[in-house]
């Protein structure tokens, strides 16, 4: 279980953020997942993350080594995505991909679930899919966030996916990839927090572009924010990125 999954909500930090930026940067996974992003783009994001002290930099697996090296000594974590953005990859392949990312230096892994299984109400398949990755990730000393892709699920399916993540031993549930339409909503974060209880992390991602957006998500129960507008958020400005 990740420490911030349990302490960020309990500390009252979410309430404090309503009165200013507070330590909002510590909630943010500074994100660059565009397939066309190159090394210069990745290094720029790492520099920004070190400057603003974001929680992590989240990138595609090919950039994990680059990010880990660039962030050395900064205190910023390295995060990568698995089965991204569709989730329609066999579980053993997701586990293999996750193992490679952790070996390359990822501290955190954000995996996409088998969305078809969630829509079909197949909890067993969801648990198996998530557990295969969770066991691999935890064996490497990293933590697992589970992307349920809320925009493609109804509320019953969202609850099922969150319950499966808890049962499979995940550390976080996460709203969205940002690549399949929609994004984080206060309603979804509230539902996810209610479903997983107080001890699991909840990550709101997709469409969080301003301090007000981030504050609303944290107030609803989010303990992490995924955004490529992190700098705008900490400056109290309005970001323009779709993620």
Residues 6+ apart with CB under 8 A from 196: 162, 165, 166, 173, 202
Q: How many residues does the chain have?
A: 243
What is the distance of C-alpha 23 from the center of its chain? Answer: 18
Task: Tell me, yes or no, if 203 is annotated catalytic.
Answer: yes
Please tell me which residue in 129, 158, 174, 213 is annotated as part of the active site: 174
Note whether 16 and 219 are within 8 A (CB). Answer: no
- The single residue of 94, 158, 203, 213 carrying the catalytic annotation is 203
Q: For residue 172, list its beta bridge partners.
A: 145, 201
CA distance linking residue 45 with residue 118, whole number of Å:
33
Which of 189, 215, 205 minimizes the C-alpha distance to 32? 205
Q: Are 59 and 48 in contact (CB under 8 A)?
A: no
**Longest distance between any two alpha carbons in the chain, whole Å:** 46
Q: Which of 110, 129, 171, 188 is catalytic?
A: 110
Please state, in angstroms and rounded to a whole number, the distance separating the CA atoms of residues 102 and 82: 11
Contact 230, 52 (CB under 8 A): yes
Peptide bond into 85 cis (omega under 30): yes
Dist CA 15 CA 160 (whole Å):
29
Catalytic residues: 110, 174, 203
């Amino acid at each position: 279980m990740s420490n911030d999954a349990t302490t960020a909500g309990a500390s009252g930090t979410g309430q404090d953020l309503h009165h200013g930026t507070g330590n909002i940067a510590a909630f943010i996974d500074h994100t660059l997942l565009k397939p066309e992003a190159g090394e210069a783009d990745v290094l720029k994001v790492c520099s920004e993350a070190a400057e603003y002290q974001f929680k992590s930099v989240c990138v595609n697996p090919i950039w994990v080594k680059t990010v880990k090296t660039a962030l050395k000594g900064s205190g910023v974590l390295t995060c990568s995505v698995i089965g991204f953005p569709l989730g329609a990859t066999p579980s053993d392949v997701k586990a293999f991909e996750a193992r490679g990312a952790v070996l390359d230096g990822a501290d955190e892994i954000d995996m996409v679930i088998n969305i078809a299984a969630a829509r079909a109400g197949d909890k067993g398949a969801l648990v198996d899919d998530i557990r295969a990755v969770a066991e691999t990730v935890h064996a490497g000393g990293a933590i697992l966030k589970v992307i349920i892709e809320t925009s493609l699920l109804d509320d019953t399916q969202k609850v099922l996916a969150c319950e499966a993540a808890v049962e499979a031993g995940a550390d976080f549930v996460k709203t969205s990839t940002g690549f399949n339409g929609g994004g984080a909503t206060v309603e979804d974060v509230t539902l996810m927090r209610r479903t997983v209880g107080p001890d699991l992390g909840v990550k709101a991602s997709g469409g969080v572009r301003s301090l007000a957006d981030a504050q609303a998500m944290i107030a609803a129960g989010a303990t992490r924010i995924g955004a490529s507008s992190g700098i705008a958020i900490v400056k109290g400005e309005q970001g323009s990125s779709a993620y």
